[in-house]
């Protein structure tokens, strides 16, 4: 590897680390504003992106212990942010779903970031955006796998 490439890779790693830290701090601020823990907030993101999930599915996605997920669902239900619904295919199971009104009441907290991200994307060509998307997708997969390795969870 050339020294210039090594420097570029080091810059990518450093900037990714900085982005990760700023992202965690932003999500912590959002969570505190909403009376949630950062983990609760991120589990809500799984529900927002993937739709209603069983507690087992939430444990698999997050890498959290099933007992921790159950306790968290109880807290989120008491806060009025999620509810338990009968599973349409198996009445022994329940789905955890977002309360849309509770979520809608916090959407404005994202306005500055979302507006800025659209403006940032305007700086790049379509091909550059495709490259960025590919990098972020691969980095997300690697990070998820690393979490699974640490927690012993699987994607099965």
Considering the domain boundaries, does residue 119 fall inside one? yes
Considering the domain boundaries, does residue 140 fall inside one? no
Considering the domain boundaries, does residue 77 fall inside one? yes
Looking at residue 155, its pLDDT comes to: 52
Considering the domain boundaries, does residue 31 fall inside one? yes
Read off the pTM. 0.81
Considering the domain boundaries, does residue 118 fall inside one? yes
Residue of 46, 48, 26, 33 lying closest to 106 (CA atoms): 33
Residue of 48, 49, 46 lying closest to 59 (CA atoms): 46
Considering the domain boundaries, does residue 130 fall inside one? no
Domain count, the chain: 1
Looking at residue 34, its pLDDT comes to: 93
pLDDT at 91 over 90: no
Looking at residue 134, its pLDDT comes to: 98
pLDDT at 102 over 90: no
CA 84 to chain centre: 21
Considering the domain boundaries, does residue 142 fall inside one? no
Range of the domain at 82: 3-123
Looking at residue 148, its pLDDT comes to: 86
pLDDT tens digits, 8-67: 999 999 999 999 999 999 999 999 999 999 899 999 999 999 999 999 999 999 889 999
Considering the domain boundaries, does residue 72 fall inside one? yes
Q: Domain holding 99: CATH number?
A: 1.10.10.10
What's the average model confidence in pLDDT over 84-90? 92
pLDDT tens digits, 127-144: 999 999 999 999 999 998
Query: Could you tell me the sign of the dihedral formed by the alpha carbons of 147, 149, 155, 156, in that order?
Result: negative
């Amino acid at each position: 590897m050339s020294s210039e490439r090594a420097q570029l890779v080091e810059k990518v790693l450093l900037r990714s680390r900085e982005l990760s830290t700023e992202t965690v701090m932003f999500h912590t601020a959002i969570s505190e504003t909403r009376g949630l823990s950062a983990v609760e907030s991120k589990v809500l993101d799984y529900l927002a992106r993937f739709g209603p999930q069983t507690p087992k599915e939430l444990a698999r996605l997050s890498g959290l212990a099933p007992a921790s997920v159950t306790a968290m669902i109880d807290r989120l239900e008491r806060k009025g942010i999620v509810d338990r619904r009968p599973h349409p295919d198996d009445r022994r199971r329940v789905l955890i779903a977002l309360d849309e009104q509770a979520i809608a009441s916090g959407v404005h907290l994202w306005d500055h970031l979302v507006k800025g991200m659209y403006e940032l994307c305007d700086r790049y060509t379509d091909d550059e955006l495709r490259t960025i998307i590919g990098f972020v997708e691969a980095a997300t997969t690697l990070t998820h796998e690393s979490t699974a390795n640490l927690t012993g969870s699987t994607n099965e």
